Structure 1
């Protein structure tokens, strides 16, 4: 029933344990950082598709419903998500997702650090990134991953803009390098 709600109304809602939960209003800076991160994930995903000659297929989205589980119904909206390609008619679900990222704000900090961290881990999403920001853009990125059959995420690294020009350098889920300047609210021209 949740997915049948008009998209304009549903945009500001999540469903958690069968209950419809409103999302807070996101400031312009918050949305810009989420969009910039999604664009960078997509750029890296395209590189991976080319490296594999099309054997792998990835897509990215921002603020899209991700069905974590059906009973009790829980669908979250990550600020940015990297997932395997799925047919247009298929509902994006946790098993398709590779990286879920949340941009932290004053109102979402506890939810993103505690509730969503636990939900995404329970749903089996391999990577979870938490992104803080300031007036310039992304400020830090905390990376968490499911490791070695553990239930729950392990913190695998945090980068801060003061540490150098590269925000993310990882080999898992595939090689990626994202520079801080690409995560700025107003990109340099």
Structure 2
């Protein structure tokens, strides 16, 4: 009879560890592969394809943001702005931290210089909570986006009819942590909520319905 011995840390260290992906290695990947993964502390995280409702909500949110972004640019108070779904966002180079937000509002990139989308370009990042993403969206990414210096973060929750709530966070630069500004609820009394930051936005719930 063999008795299992407690595993010492030195023994664990002898085991092969998965290799970390560098920024150069990631940039050499095909777009097809890059779309299916995120990189956290250099390690590959495989992303499941979003459910249809998740994809629809992301498209509705992007359309809403894009409409208000265009108005903000026309006002002359903002520079060039872009809205996108599911694009690479570089939060850190070493160890590599690369996320693909569901929706992101950011300052336009310099295409001639081949500028990569980084945290300093982002004005607002939005993540839509799925059954398997609760911890990532409300804890992991909440901390990562704050430490990267992204000013605004929204967490979106859905019901069977569309977007049901928007949790809004703003960065406290002294602590580099997010402060909860409040949660907008679809069924609240009153007119459509109006937001002033990062740009003026009116939340029309009908536009976020399925």
Query: How has the CA–CA distance of structure 1 residues 43 and 164 changed in structure 2, closer, same or farther, with 3 Å as cutoff?
Result: farther
Provide the residue aligned with 1:22 in structure 2.
46
Q: Hey, what's the Cα distance between the residues in 2 that align with 1:99 and 1:87?
A: 19
Provide the residue aligned with 2:188 in structure 1.
163
Identify unmatched segments of 5+ residues in structure 2.
1-24
Residues 14-58 of structure 1 show CA distances to partners (whole Å, capped at 9, x for unaligned) of 0110011111231000011011111111111100000117x5111
Provide the residue aligned with 1:68 in structure 2.
91
* 1:103 maps to 2:128: yes
Q: Hey, what's the Cα distance between the residues in 1 that align with 2:52 and 2:148?
A: 29
Provide the residue aligned with 1:147 in structure 2.
172
Provide the residue aligned with 2:19 in structure 1.
none
Tell me the secondary structure at the aligned position of residue 47 of structure 1: helix
Residues 79-123 of structure 1 show CA distances to partners (whole Å, capped at 9, x for unaligned) of 000000112321100000000000001011111000000000000
Query: How has the CA–CA distance of structure 1 residues 148 and 65 changed in structure 2, closer, same or farther, with 3 Å as cutoff?
Result: closer
Scaled by the length of structure 1, the TM-score of the pair is 0.92
Name the count of aligned residue pairs: 184
Query: How has the CA–CA distance of structure 1 residues 37 and 165 changed in structure 2, closer, same or farther, with 3 Å as cutoff?
Result: farther
Q: Hey, what's the Cα distance between the residues in 2 that align with 1:148 and 1:5?
A: 34
* 1:46 maps to 2:56: no
Identify unmatched segments of 5+ residues in structure 1.
none
* 1:87 maps to 2:92: no
Tell me the secondary structure at the aligned position of residue 163 of structure 1: coil
Query: How has the CA–CA distance of structure 1 residues 167 and 110 changed in structure 2, closer, same or farther, with 3 Å as cutoff?
Result: farther
Scaled by the length of structure 2, the TM-score of the pair is 0.83
Tell me the secondary structure at the aligned position of residue 57 of structure 2: helix
Displacement of 1:150 after TM fit? 2.8
Query: How has the CA–CA distance of structure 1 residues 14 and 168 changed in structure 2, closer, same or farther, with 3 Å as cutoff?
Result: farther
